[in-house]
């Protein structure tokens, strides 16, 4: 049972950290950063000495850098490296990624839903919150952070028993509606900037929005439209119907309708989706510490986060433009985009995702995007279309290449990636092309 496992974990953790320093290592996405924020607060409240490091991924180099005389706490990472973490050092892991080995080394204590008798989908921030609450009931006011992390890992559509309990703990309001954000700003603006989901004829099209809102007789308050959260049931229904009419009939309605999560932050009602996107943006732009301070309630970090978020969106648009203007390797059912040093490695995956959801490439097209990261190359692959029935497996494709030229790969059938040495740039392209041409014959 989850709660039993957490109680056991907490007992050992509190015992080990006495008179020691804790070294917290968190993953750099929204889930990892909110998890780290929860533990920063928790450890501060315990009067515990600690330091923090936010990392993109746990590799050999990071493992070597771990201090030997401190208690290590991994948040949202570590499960895939249990063998490598085997040492004399006590290590605590709170994570939800696949576990690499069945046997847990003796120095490791781990909370991971995959290791429970009954699996329940929870993210690291939710597990961190439950652990924090077990340490002290006073930490109940950190529940909202786990809601932001959960949305960051896109788990908000499935509400299970534990998640429901966390939602009850958090001061969060849920409203059913159109899944675009931020739901707290005038509806015309929110529609204009909606990229997840991308609404054909609406996203980036003020004229289309004007016509849609006129058609459903959306009311204005003074000169501005109401925000999504202020719509009554009837208005929301009309809006949803009008938007669905503009989408492709093949798409599922559930992509567009769901729960809006409203949280109170700095004494303002905020859309948790927007906050989650802001944290993600800061981190990907290289400001993980600002994102963390923002989560901890620092007001100047909040202002800085907003500025970085604006810059991030400009970066995304500049990246899309760069890809559009520059040459790509076009196969019959694939495209290889090699951005080299022109696009940040931390946003190349986001760009590949946006391209896969847009109508730039035919449904089923494999998109491979590459960007430099110092002496390495980060590669992201996606399949174009919202629900393409592709018999291609991107994880297998990435694995098959790294098996030959080395590097790390991960992901799943529809979205996968890898990191390789820069010197293998041409070899990578050559191998992927061969593989894709060959598969084309086979399929």
The site for Mn ion (CB under 5 A) is made up of: 31, 76, 123-124, 153
Nearest to 328, CA basis, from 320, 319, 337: 337
Output 81 or 153, the one with its CB closest to Mn ion: 153
State the Cα angle at 121 between 261 and 351, rounded to 5°. Answer: 65
Beta-bridge partners for 221: 224
Output 77 or 397, the one with its CB closest to Mn ion: 77
Kindly state the smallest distance separating residue 146's Cβ from Mn ion, in Å: 11
**Helix (H, G, I), strand (E, B), or coil: what is residue 285?**
coil
Q: Are 351 and 370 in contact (CB under 8 A)?
A: no
Kindly state the smallest distance separating residue 96's Cβ from Mn ion, in Å: 6
Kindly state the smallest distance separating residue 116's Cβ from Mn ion, in Å: 17
b/e burial code for range 155-193 (CB count within 10 A of at least 16 → b): bbeeeeebbeebbebbebeeeebbbbbbbbbbbbebbbe
Output 32 or 197, the one with its CB closest to Mn ion: 32
Output 83 or 98, the one with its CB closest to Mn ion: 98
State how far the Cα of 50 lies from the Cα of 73, in Å rounded to an integer: 10
Kindly state the smallest distance separating residue 2's Cβ from Mn ion, in Å: 16
Kindly state the smallest distance separating residue 95's Cβ from Mn ion, in Å: 8
State how far the Cα of 362 lies from the Cα of 330, in Å rounded to an integer: 12
State how far the Cα of 256 lies from the Cα of 177, in Å rounded to an integer: 8
Output 155 or 367, the one with its CB closest to Mn ion: 155
State how far the Cα of 234 lies from the Cα of 293, in Å rounded to an integer: 40
Kindly state the smallest distance separating residue 395's Cβ from Mn ion, in Å: 18
Q: Which residues contact 122 (CB under 8 A, 6 or more apart)?
A: 2, 96, 113, 150, 155, 160, 162, 163
Output 76 or 81, the one with its CB closest to Mn ion: 76
């Amino acid at each position: 049972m989850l709660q039993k496992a957490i109680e056991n974990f907490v007992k050992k953790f509190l015992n080990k950290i006495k008179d020691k320093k804790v070294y917290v290592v968190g993953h750099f996405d929204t889930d990892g950063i909110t998890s780290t924020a929860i533990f920063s607060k928790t450890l501060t409240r315990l009067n515990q000495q600690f330091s923090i490091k936010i990392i993109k991924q746990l590799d050999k180099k990071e493992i070597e850098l771990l201090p030997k005389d401190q208690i290590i706490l991994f948040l949202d990472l570590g499960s895939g490296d249990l063998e490598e973490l085997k040492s004399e050092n006590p290590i605590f892991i709170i994570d939800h990624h696949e576990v690499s080995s069945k046997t847990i080394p003796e120095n490791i204590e781990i909370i991971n839903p995959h290791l429970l008798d009954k699996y329940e989908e929870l993210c690291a921030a939710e597990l961190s919150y439950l652990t924090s609450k077990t340490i002290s009931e006073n930490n109940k006011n950190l529940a909202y952070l786990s809601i932001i992390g959960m949305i960051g890992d896109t788990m908000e559509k499935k509400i299970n028993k534990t998640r429901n309990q966390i939602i009850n703990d958090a001061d969060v309001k849920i409203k059913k509606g159109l899944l675009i954000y931020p739901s707290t700003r005038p509806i015309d603006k929110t529609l204009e900037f909606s990229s997840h989901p991308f609404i054909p004829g609406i996203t980036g099209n003020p004229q289309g929005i004007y016509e849609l809102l006129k058609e459903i007789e959306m009311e204005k308050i003074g000169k501005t439209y109401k925000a999504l959260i202020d719509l009554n049931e009837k208005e929301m229904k009309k809006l949803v119907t009008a938007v669905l009419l503009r989408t492709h009939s093949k798409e599922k309605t559930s992509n567009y309708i769901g729960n809006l999560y409203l949280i109170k932050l700095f004494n303002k009602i905020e859309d948790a989706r927007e906050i989650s996107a802001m944290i993600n943006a800061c981190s990907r732009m290289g400001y993980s510490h600002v994102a963390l301070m923002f989560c901890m309630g620092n007001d100047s970090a909040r202002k800085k986060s907003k500025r970085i978020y604006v810059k991030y969106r400009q970066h995304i648009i500049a990246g899309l433009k760069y890809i559009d203007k520059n040459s790509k390797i076009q196969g019959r059912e694939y495209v290889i985009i090699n951005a080299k040093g022109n696009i940040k490695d931390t946003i190349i995956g986001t760009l590949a995702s946006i391209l896969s959801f847009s109508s730039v490439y035919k449904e089923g097209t494999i998109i491979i995007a590459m960007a430099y990261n110092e002496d390495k190359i980060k590669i992201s692959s996606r399949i174009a279309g919202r629900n393409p029935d592709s018999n291609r497996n991107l994880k297998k494709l990435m694995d098959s290449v790294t098996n030959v030229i080395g590097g790390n790969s991960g992901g799943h059938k529809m979205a996968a990636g890898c990191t390789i040495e820069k010197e293998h740039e041409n070899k990578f392209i050559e191998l992927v092309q061969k593989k894709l041409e060959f598969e084309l014959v086979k399929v």
